[in-house]
Amino acid sequence: MHSADRNEGTTRRVPQWPRAMNLNSLYTAPILAWYEANARDLPWRAPDATPWGVLVSEIMLQQTPVSRVLPVWDAWMARWPTPAALAAEPSGEAVRAWGRLGYPRRALRLHESARAITERHGGEVPSSHADLLALPGIGAYTAAAVASFAFRQRHAVLDTNVRRVLARLVSGVEYPPKSQTRAEVELAESLLPPDPPTAARWAVAAMELGALVCTARTPRCVDCPVLDKCAWHAAGRPAHDGPPRRGQTYAGTDRQCRGRILAVLRDAEGPVEKPALDVVWSDAVQRERALDALIADGLVDPLDDGRYALPH
DNA sequence: CAAGCGTGGCT
DNA sequence: TAGCCAAGCTT
């Protein structure tokens, strides 16, 4: 059993034929058609969604399921319909509105981004990949996603869904490598339709296929529009070989402790006394370490009077 | 570059 | 049930 397309090295297959003739239309046409019929009706995909709404959704969706993002996104956009509206508030309000989405540093960075957009970009979300990438909390994926979804530009939008789809469809393996490779980026770029609006459509369609059909655990291959072209399916859907892919325990970690401390501050109307934080975690050493880290991260503000609050 | 960073639903 | 997993980023 040889993996035909493992590469990772120097031998990179460069398409010798014109872009419009290469693999891409083979995969893109059926997936685009599938998307037209099966796309979820998400508010940040609505025709009247703003670039700011798209940006907010992308940050919230980092490592977080759509179902949990929806209500928070709705409330967020109602309260802060523009970057300037959010920028005018203390960062602690962003952290509070973030609720239980998790990874609350995202809220802080989104607030920082709102201020940067207001100050450096006249209040308009920038459209260039480079300008987006320069904003805090925005990496390669999110910059490409916003440029593509909000501004209909042509970018390889390579998230966990797309990486998995391409791993199966083209490479014939169940899961992509643990960390993104150059080869994956080149593959994704080679599949991009030439026309920017179509490329943008393809980007969201490939993601949606990964989210709804080509899922990590139990793929619904019977519903797949490119099953007949899928290398993984053709190979008999071989199981992932190699070391287990993850393993993040949560109970008892600093993360859980941080979460409990921050929850107290989110749910409080104003500053709280130290004992109110102490009761949420019995191990004092770990608790103090977590609190110090929260302060260092800017998520908690230690007041002069000894109380604690969400940041300004 | 591997590790750290929340939370909850699903199997 | 206890992992596995979810539109990643930063250091």
Q: Do A210 and A261 have their domain in common?
A: no
Q: State whether the beta carbon of A99 lies below 7 angstroms from any atom of strand B.
A: no
CA–C1' gap, A168 and C1, in angstroms:
30
In a domain, A243, yes or no: no
Q: Which pLDDT tens digit goes with each residue over A178-188?
A: 999 999 999 99
In a domain, A143, yes or no: yes
CATH number at residue A267: 1.10.10
Q: Do A292 and A163 have their domain in common?
A: no
Clarify whether A58 is annotated catalytic. Answer: yes
- With residue A302 as reference, give the H or E element that holds it: strand A301-302
Strand C-proximal residues of A, range 36-75, CB below 7 A, are 42, 44-45, 57-58, 61-66
Q: Do A133 and A267 have their domain in common?
A: no
User: CA angle, corner A244, sides to A238 and A246, nearest 5?
Assistant: 125
Domain count, chain A: 2
pTM beyond 0.75: the answer is: yes
Q: Do A156 and A296 have their domain in common?
A: no
Asked whether residue A112 carries a pLDDT value surpassing 60, the answer given is: yes
In a domain, A185, yes or no: yes
Q: State whether the beta carbon of A137 lies below 7 angstroms from any atom of strand B.
A: no
> Quick check: helix, strand or coil at residue A123?
coil
In a domain, A1, yes or no: no
Q: State whether the beta carbon of A256 lies below 7 angstroms from any atom of strand C.
A: no
Q: Do A213 and A286 have their domain in common?
A: no
Asked whether residue A199 carries a pLDDT value surpassing 60, the answer given is: yes
Q: Do A162 and A38 have their domain in common?
A: yes
Residue A241's pLDDT band (cuts 50, 70, 90): confident
In a domain, A222, yes or no: yes
pLDDT at A22: 52
What is the domain range of residue A181?
22-235
Last residue of a domain, one of A175, A201, A235: A235
In a domain, A59, yes or no: yes
Q: Do A211 and A281 have their domain in common?
A: no
Phi, psi of A301 (to 5 degrees): -110, 115
**Higher pLDDT residue, A272 or A15?**
A272
Tracing tokens 């107290």 back to the chain, one arrives at A264
Q: Do A58 and A195 have their domain in common?
A: yes
Paired tokens of A133:
């990438």
Q: Do A283 and A155 have their domain in common?
A: no
pLDDT at A4: 32
CB-proximal positions of chain B, under 7 Å: 1-2, 4-9, 11
- With residue A308 as reference, give the H or E element that holds it: strand A308-309
Q: Do A198 and A290 have their domain in common?
A: no
In a domain, A9, yes or no: no
CA–C1' gap, A100 and C11, in angstroms:
24
Paired tokens of A45:
């995909």
**H-type alpha helices, chain A:** 23-38, 51-61, 66-79, 83-87, 91-98, 105-120, 129-133, 140-149, 160-166, 182-191, 196-212, 231-234, 254-267, 274-278, 284-297
pLDDT at A23: 61
pLDDT at A214: 98
pLDDT at A25: 87
Last residue of a domain, one of A235, A265, A300: A235
Q: Which pLDDT tens digit goes with each residue over A37-59?
A: 999 999 999 999 999 999 999 99
In a domain, A249, yes or no: no
**Higher pLDDT residue, A21 or A24?**
A24
CATH number at residue A37: 1.10.340.30
What percentage of chain A exceeds 70 in pLDDT? 92
The answer to whether A245 and A289 have CB atoms below 8 angstroms apart is no
CA–C1' gap, A190 and B6, in angstroms:
36
Among A58, A174, A184, A208, the active-site one is A58
Q: Do A199 and A162 have their domain in common?
A: yes
Q: What is the average pLDDT score of chain A?
A: 92
Q: Do A88 and A175 have their domain in common?
A: yes
